[in-house]
Chains A and B, each alone.
Chain A
Amino acid sequence: SRASRKRECRIMATVSVCQYHRGGFSFENCKRNALLEADINKLGFSSPAARKTGTTICGVVYKDGVVLGADTRATEGMVVADKNCSKIHYISPNVYCCGAGTAADTEMTTQIISSNLELHSLSTGRLPRVATANRMLKQMLFRYQGYIGAALVLGGVDCTGPHLYSIYPHGSTDKLPYVTMGSGSLAAMAVFEDRYRPNMEEEEAKRLVRDAIAAGIFNDLGSGSNIDLCVITKGKVDYLRPHDVANKKGVRTGNYRYKHGTTGVLAKTVTPLNLEVVEENVQTMDTS
């Protein structure tokens, strides 16, 4: 009968929800996406590309702390999506993190780790350490087996001194005195390998990082616009955004607008439109 058939449909729909609804990533659409991907390529279209930060990011440890640098271009395929995006993310008052790779992934991952680190430091009652942030990040990225495309340069100063880590999307990390990541990493690394020396002064370190990012900006298509710097020392953070505007947009020299009165007015007639209200209908918005 109709009632029992309706009941059956409700049962089937409900049982799918009966399974304990967990939060987190949902893989429901993966099969559908795979089919769409195959069909779209046959038709000749291309699927939308994720916004990446094809980037140059780098960091250097100097005498009193850490200098992190990043460019400010975000690309979406072959188009620049954001001319001035901020790639140096806040993790804790003494730890900052530059992110390369998929923009959303770096953004969300650093925000999650920042929240976790804040809760952790409230629980311990101490300033968080860079090694803690590093371990949290690498455990999360390894859990997702590289599907979260976030390549990070993590730097900060804690009670044990200045530290700098590079974290790859699959979860491996390196603790080094100078690191670069992103599509412009080779250009930046070339500058570092040439001019890095241990225990530099602050101005020299800032100049080195600025030059490394500039090398990435001018030699890599995925990096561009300005150079942001973040200087972290014990008790002080200098977030210089922008530290250097390497690519200024040109100013238009001519103006094609015509001045008022260029075209002479010969005659003028004004016809008022008389509209009368036929019907008025008020619908209140459901703001509950």
Chain B
Amino acid sequence: MNTRGLRSQLKDSVPVTGLCPQAGPYGVQDSLRRGFSSVKNELLPSHPLELSEKNFQLNQDKMNFNTLRNIQGLHAPLKLQMEYRAARQIQRLPFLPSSNLALDTLRGSDDTIGFEDILNDPVQSEMMGDPHIMTEYKLGVL
């Protein structure tokens, strides 16, 4: 929920995909992992809202932290970001859905309902990644 004004610098809010968005660890196309790439697919998002929705939470957080910094000084967002980092590490095993309860409470989204709770709820997703592959990916062994 927008509780503060929009006085922050928005120029670095939306990360744009680079020239080689499907770069793997060696900087070239990662066909194995991300499939074939075509210029047309990468150039435009499939829907005007796709990028803005993907970065919405990020941008909200940035805006709120910026406003908080302007009002209360640098210590406030620093402390909060440290708490966010700590809360983000409370996760279940990589292939199981995590509730992110601590993170939600910090953000204040534990008492709001939005489309992300109704549509495509990760808890009710029919697909689950292969446990072995996902843990290896998480640990960087893959």
Q: Which residues of A contact B (CB under 8 A)?
A: 8, 10-15, 17-18, 21-28, 30-31, 34, 108, 112, 115-116, 119-120, 123, 136, 139-140, 143-145, 147
B127 contacts chain A at the CB level, 8 A cutoff: yes
Determine the residue in chain A with the shortest Cβ distance to B46.
A30
Contact yes or no, B137 A18, CB < 8 A: yes
> When the two chains form the complex, which single residue of B48, B49, B113, B137 contacts A15, counting CB atoms closer than 8 Å?
B137
Chain B positions 40 through 69: 1 when the CB is less than 8 Å from some CB of chain A, otherwise 0: 010001111110110010000000000000
Chain A residues closer than 8 Å to B34, beta-carbon distance: 15
Chain B positions 67 through 108: 1 when the CB is less than 8 Å from some CB of chain A, otherwise 0: 000000000000000000000000000100100000000000
Chain A residues closer than 8 Å to B134, beta-carbon distance: 14, 17-18
Cα distance, A13 to B35, chains bound together (Å):
10
Chain B residues closer than 8 Å to A144, beta-carbon distance: 49
Cα distance, A14 to B121, chains bound together (Å):
18
A-B interface pairs (CB < 8 A), number: 93
B114 contacts chain A at the CB level, 8 A cutoff: yes
Cα distance, A10 to B130, chains bound together (Å):
7
How many whole Å from A76's CB to the nearest CB in chain B?
22
Chain A residues closer than 8 Å to B118, beta-carbon distance: 23, 108, 112
On whether A24 and B114 interact (CB within 8 A), knowing A12-B32, A145-B48, A147-B49, the answer reads yes
Cα distance, A219 to B40, chains bound together (Å):
47
Between A and B, 17 residue pairs with Cβ closer than 8 Å are A12-B35, A15-B34, A21-B125, A23-B117, A23-B120, A24-B53, A24-B114, A25-B120, A112-B113, A112-B115, A115-B113, A116-B112, A119-B113, A143-B56, A145-B48, A145-B49, A147-B49
Determine the residue in chain B with the shortest Cβ distance to A109.
B115
Using a Cβ–Cβ cut-off of 8 Å, how many residues does chain B contribute to the interface with A?
Answer: 39
Contact yes or no, B115 A23, CB < 8 A: yes
> When the two chains form the complex, which single residue of B32, B53, B111, B130 contacts A119, counting CB atoms closer than 8 Å?
B111
Contact yes or no, A23 B116, CB < 8 A: yes
Contact yes or no, B2 A139, CB < 8 A: yes
B19 contacts chain A at the CB level, 8 A cutoff: no
Contact yes or no, A24 B130, CB < 8 A: no
Given A25-B120, A30-B46, 9 other A-B contacts at CB below 8 A?
A: A15-B34, A18-B94, A21-B122, A22-B122, A23-B122, A25-B115, A25-B119, A28-B46, A143-B56
